[in-house]
Amino acid sequence: MEWLVGRMQSLGFGSSFIDEAGNAVGVVGDGPKQVVLLGHIDMVAGEIGVRQVANPPNERLYGRGTVDAKGPLACFVDAAAKVGAREGWQFVVIGAVEEERDSKGARFAAGQYKPDFAIIGEPSQWDRIALGYKGSAWANITVKRGQVHTASGEQTASEAAVETWLRIRAYAESFNAEKRKTFDRLLLTLRGMESGSDDFEQWARLNVGVRLPVEVSPEAWYQSLNETAQGAIVEPIGFAIPAWACEKNTPLVRTFLKGIRSQGGEPRFVYKTGTADLNIVAPVWECPTVVYGPGDSALDHTPEEHILLAEYAKAVSVLSHVLCDLSEGMPE
């Protein structure tokens, strides 16, 4: 964190510091209009030795976080430094903490800024713009039964838990039946099951997660889960996060389309099945927002995580074009 703050200082940022949440923040310019570039600096566990592989024109940089998401964050830093201070504008680059956990850094930043435009740093490849991320919700579902003799033939707690899971899955399949796009579907996960008993009671617990579409709020999901569980105890866990889809017809999107074309690319839109800091800040900031960053998201969290340096360079050029375009007058 300290290294990043020092690096931003060395690149000419007007100020750089670590905020109260532990985020690394760099600011270029002091105008009344603001662009916030929110990346995240944390990463999943698993060390990958940092190394550069030279194979022109496909030089690659390996290392944990090169894709998710220090690559996009570094792109933000380099682009803001390249563009520099622009009259009437302020560019705020944030390396947020704990995105891979409970988004502590983004939750703090959401209350500190009110940007005119926001760009969230996640790998989407240099010529793609991500406009949506699914929501998520987790729950423990516990089934209890009285202790009975194994020869009684009565249903055990574990058997009842299996039936509960099958009902939940059937509900999701029914919901998804008419949904053509993955972004619009409920994506269920059974992450664990455990059971136990004492002298008088037996129990079985399911750990169930779901990726939510825009039309299903976490509250609506938990209500459906309680109805489908038919008396089992549903205990929400962690932070439930609603899905979010960005507006497509905005000045920010149009500047990205121009920026990508300026580098010889054919821009594309994508909607992701994961959840990101976009879901946290976009409902609060209520400004035009997109998700952008170099890197192939298929390499996220994998042992082969790496980024193509040529793609990184193009992403910096695209983002520089975007910041210049926004600060020189929004396109029609």
pLDDT digits (tens, 9 = 90+) for 245-274: 999 999 999 999 999 999 999 999 999 999
Angle at 282 between CA 277 and CA 283, to 5 degrees: 120
**CA–CA distance, 78 with 320 (Å, rounded to integer):** 9
> Which CATH class for the 2-133+243-328 domain?
alpha beta
Catalytic residue, candidates 78, 98, 99, 311? 99
pTM over 0.85: yes
Indicate left, alpha or beta for 21 from its phi (over 0: left) and psi (-120 to 50: alpha). Answer: alpha
pLDDT recorded at residue 150:
61
Angle at 329 between CA 12 and CA 282, to 5 degrees: 75
pLDDT recorded at residue 331:
42
Angle at 129 between CA 124 and CA 132, to 5 degrees: 90
Q: Do the Cβ atoms of 16 and 25 come closer than 8 Å?
A: yes
296 is a catalytic site residue: no
pLDDT recorded at residue 151:
59
99 is a catalytic site residue: yes
Q: Which two tokens stand for residue 13?
A: 């940022």
User: CB under 8 Å to 30, separation ≥6 — which residues?
Assistant: 14, 85, 90
**CA–CA distance, 135 with 211 (Å, rounded to integer):** 5
Domain boundaries, the chain: 2-133+243-328, 135-241
Regions of the chain with pLDDT less than 50: 330-332
Q: Do the Cβ atoms of 326 and 115 come closer than 8 Å?
A: no
Provide the residue count of the chain: 332
> Which CATH class for the 135-241 domain?
alpha beta
**In this predicted model, what pLDDT tens digit does every residue of 91-148 receive, in sequence order?**
999 999 988 888 999 999 999 999 999 999 999 999 999 999 999 999 999 999 887 6
Angle at 93 between CA 89 and CA 94, to 5 degrees: 140
Strand duo 244-245 + 306-308: pairing: unpaired
Single out the residue of 87, 14, 26, 76 nearest to residue 319, CA to CA: 76
Which letter, b or e, does each residue of 271-283 get, where b requires 16 or more Cβ atoms within 10 Å of its Cβ? bbeebbbbbbbbe
Cα dist from 151 to 143, 156, 201, 203, whole Å: 20, 11, 16, 18
pLDDT recorded at residue 55:
80
Catalytic residue, candidates 42, 68, 122, 311? 42
